[in-house]
Amino acid sequence: MPSIVIAQGGGPTAVINQTLCGAILAARRHDPSVRILGARYGVRGLTAGNVVDLTAIPEAQLRRLGNTPNSALGSTRDKPDSGACADILAALDRLDARAFVYIGGNDTAGTLELLRQQSSGPCHFVHAPKTIDNDLMENDHVPGFISAAAFVANALVSMDLDFRAMPGIYVAIVMGRHAGFLTAAAAGWQQSPDDAPNLIYTPEKPFSVVQFLDEVDAIYARLGRCIVSMSEGVQDEAGQPLVEALAGEAVERDAHGNLQLTSGDLGIEIQKALKSRFPKARARVDTLGYLPRGYIGVIDETDRKEAFAAGAFAAQNALTGSGSVVLHYDGDRIEPLIVPLERVAGKTRHMPDDFFAGSNTVSDEGRRYFRR
């Protein structure tokens, strides 16, 4: 019997299971004769035959599943080479797959593009978007981002109130390897110029420890507090991630060659720098790490709906051709579209220059985007 295979790749989010739920329900309605299979742990499970039948799961149960964070099918960061792609295609052929819907970020889209290029069979390859980094090309924003941004904003607002009561310096290290959307998003919650975050540092702008300390000093002297939002992927003038410059070969990488940035190394070095410059100040650095990406206490309703719609749109288009689902903003509303995989696969969207006011502040244009 023909099938549609669905999998989840990369890091989980608060709403990735909404995308899974949307894909399953839409596939069932679009063609009741097609089996819907879930690959456990991404392409790794697919090649190992670790596949579950999702066809007959009651809708009420799927809806409850959609309301849970993190990846219900399990995930992987495996980067398949040509040989692995051949194994994946063989596995899809054994399942009589007419479509493979893979929910994930740009690396996941890259895997699908490799499979599409190598495939000579009837299977279509459709990417459903997911990433808290908000760095997928062609998208206005990406499912998972809004909920993660709300977590970061709430954390920084809370720290702002804390440090108004007891003066000092606070730095939050926020996920974002190449793009600073998540780090900067809290600016959309500011009610006045002195609200947190007072300083924002992202991978798009060169970072200097000396300049950072001078800028903290100026804010701290004026307000008696300084709340900083800093991307884990901040880079020096040469484009080298600061954590790599500080830790060298000790920094681990995943199968895609991405630095493992959430271990706290950057936070440790920033803490040392603050203590050296401000020995008498109350100074604290926290690496938020994985907390924002799938936090059950902050799941945005708009994020839920858009994630579901992205999954449904992916399944509806899966039997007609390959592509990547994107969330398009037409100036009035968000709607899902499908674009060629190569326009998203392996590419990174960065914060536009007009979102910045200098190197450490978000512009009015940026704030309008984050508030929208």
pLDDT tens, position by position, 48-76: 999 999 999 999 999 999 999 999 999 99
Name the token pair of 111. 């895997």
DSSP, residue by residue, 294-307 = G-TT---HHHHHHH
Phi/psi for 298 (5° steps) reads -135, 90
Listed in order, strand segments (DSSP E) in the chain are 3-8, 35-39, 51-53, 97-104, 124-129, 168-174, 199-201, 225-231, 283-287, 323-329, 334-339
Range of the domain at 248: 147-296+353-371
pLDDT in tens, 204-223: 999 999 999 999 999 999 99
Q: Which amino acid is at 256?
A: H
Name the token pair of 197. 């975050």
Name the token pair of 239. 């484009």
Instruction: Say if residue 216 is in the same domain as residue 140.
Output: no
Contact indicator for 327, 143 with CB cutoff of 8 Å: yes
In a domain, 94, yes or no: yes
pLDDT band at 1 (very low <50, low <70, confident <90, very high): confident
CATH number of the domain to which 11 belongs: 3.40.50.450
CA distance 78 to 73: 15
Could you tell me the strand order of the sheet in which 3-8 lies? 51-53, 35-39, 3-8, 97-104, 124-129, 323-329, 334-339
In a domain, 348, yes or no: no
In a domain, 285, yes or no: yes
In a domain, 306, yes or no: yes
Question: Active-site residue among 87, 93, 96, 133?
Answer: 133
The residue-averaged pLDDT of 308-335 equals 96
332 is catalytic: no
Instruction: Say if residue 278 is in the same domain as residue 328.
Output: no
What is the model's pLDDT at position 372?
Answer: 87
Contact indicator for 11, 258 with CB cutoff of 8 Å: no
Q: What does the chain come to in residues? A: 372
Instruction: Say if residue 123 is in the same domain as residue 97.
Output: yes
CA 344 centroid distance within chain: 14
Instruction: Say if residue 198 is in the same domain as residue 272.
Output: yes
Instruction: Say if residue 240 is in the same domain as residue 322.
Output: no
Q: Which amino acid is at 57?
A: I
Reference 105, options 331, 347, 361, 371; nearest CA is 347
Q: Which of 198-212, 259-273, 289-303, 315-329 has the lowest mean pLDDT?
A: 259-273
Contact indicator for 232, 172 with CB cutoff of 8 Å: no
DSSP, residue by residue, 28-65 = HHH-TTSEEEEETTHHHHHHHT-EEE-TT--HHHHHHH
Contact indicator for 262, 290 with CB cutoff of 8 Å: yes
At 267 the three-state DSSP class reads helix
Instruction: Say if residue 217 is in the same domain as residue 118.
Output: no
CA distance 55 to 81: 31
In a domain, 45, yes or no: yes
Instruction: Say if residue 15 is in the same domain as residue 37.
Output: yes
- Bridge partners, residue 125, by sequence: 100
pLDDT in tens, 252-284: 555 545 555 555 589 999 999 999 999 999 999
pLDDT in tens, 84-123: 999 999 999 999 999 999 999 999 999 999 999 999 999 9
CATH number of the domain to which 170 belongs: 3.40.50.460
Instruction: Say if residue 172 is in the same domain as residue 288.
Output: yes
pLDDT in tens, 130-182: 999 999 999 999 999 999 999 999 999 999 999 999 999 999 999 998 999 99
Instruction: Say if residue 232 is in the same domain as residue 303.
Output: no
Reference 6, options 33, 29, 35; nearest CA is 35
In a domain, 338, yes or no: yes
